[in-house]
């Protein structure tokens, strides 16, 4: 294997931002993208098309900070649009940085695609929930953790006690969900979820079944 400046200057890595809801993941995601823009990097951003909480074609924080993004159905669509957009460049030009929002909403193919793109020399900046409302790991995010060169885990403030929160509480009519029979993915905002600490979090009963 080679060494020295040529090897050390090779591009291509994964930056993964994780945490519970209301932890500031999207804000940190956008901050990193803007930093790369200041560094004269060519950037393209993708988001799952099912996430329409604030906008169809932008990534947006709960506080209104936004960045334009391409909505895509799945990992195959993401790769297709990436290559189509690169055809608009000159022959030797391509994107430097690929931003991917809300990894947990993508299909399983996103893990292999992110790894491939990093190996191909792209800088991947991605974010996602590390746990679902049952406090179980989200598979896509969990599988990317050992592959990422940089991982930042963010916490929120507990909506109940103000302590450090790293769990997402799903609510129905203002009360914690008590069973696990609801959909794993429910895209909503503060009316359906809260950030909670380990002490205030109410874990759904996995053994509870509807009669």
Q: In the annotation, is 86 catalytic?
A: no
* R_g of the chain computed on alpha carbons: 18
Catalytic choice (88, 102, 149, 152):
102
Q: State the DSSP string of the chain.
A: ---SHHHHT---EEEEEEESTTSSHHHHHHHHHHHHHHTT--EEEEEETT--SS-SSEEE-TTS-EEE-EEESSHHHHHHHHHHHHTTS-TT---SEEEE--GGGS-THHHHHHHHHHHTTPEEEEEEESB-TTSPBPHHHHHHGGG-SEEEEE-EE-TTT-SEE-EEEEEETTEE--BS-S-S-----TTTEEEE-TTT----BTT----
Active site (catalytic) residues: 102
């Amino acid at each position: 294997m080679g060494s020295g400046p040529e090897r050390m200057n090779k591009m291509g890595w994964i930056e993964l931002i994780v945490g519970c809801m209301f932890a500031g993941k999207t804000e940190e995601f956008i901050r990193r993208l803007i930093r790369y823009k200041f560094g004269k990097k060519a950037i393209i951003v993708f988001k799952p098309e099912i996430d329409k909480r604030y906008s169809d074609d932008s990534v947006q924080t709960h506080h209104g900070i936004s960045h334009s993004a391409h909505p895509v159905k799945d990992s195959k669509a993401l790769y297709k649009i990436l290559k189509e957009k690169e055809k608009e460049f000159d022959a030797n030009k391509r994107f430097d940085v690929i931003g991917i929002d809300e990894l947990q909403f993508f299909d399983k193919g996103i893990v292999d695609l992110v790894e491939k793109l990093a190996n191909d020399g792209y800088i991947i900046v991605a974010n996602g929930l590390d746990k679902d409302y049952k406090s179980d790991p989200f598979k896509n995010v969990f599988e990317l953790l050992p592959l990422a060169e940089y991982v930042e885990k963010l916490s929120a403030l507990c909506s109940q006690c103000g302590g450090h929160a790293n769990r997402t509480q799903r609510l129905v009519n203002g009360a914690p969900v008590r069973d696990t029979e609801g959909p794993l993915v429910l895209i909503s905002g503060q009316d359906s979820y809260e950030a909670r600490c380990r002490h205030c979090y109410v874990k759904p009963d996995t053994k509870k079944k509807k009669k």
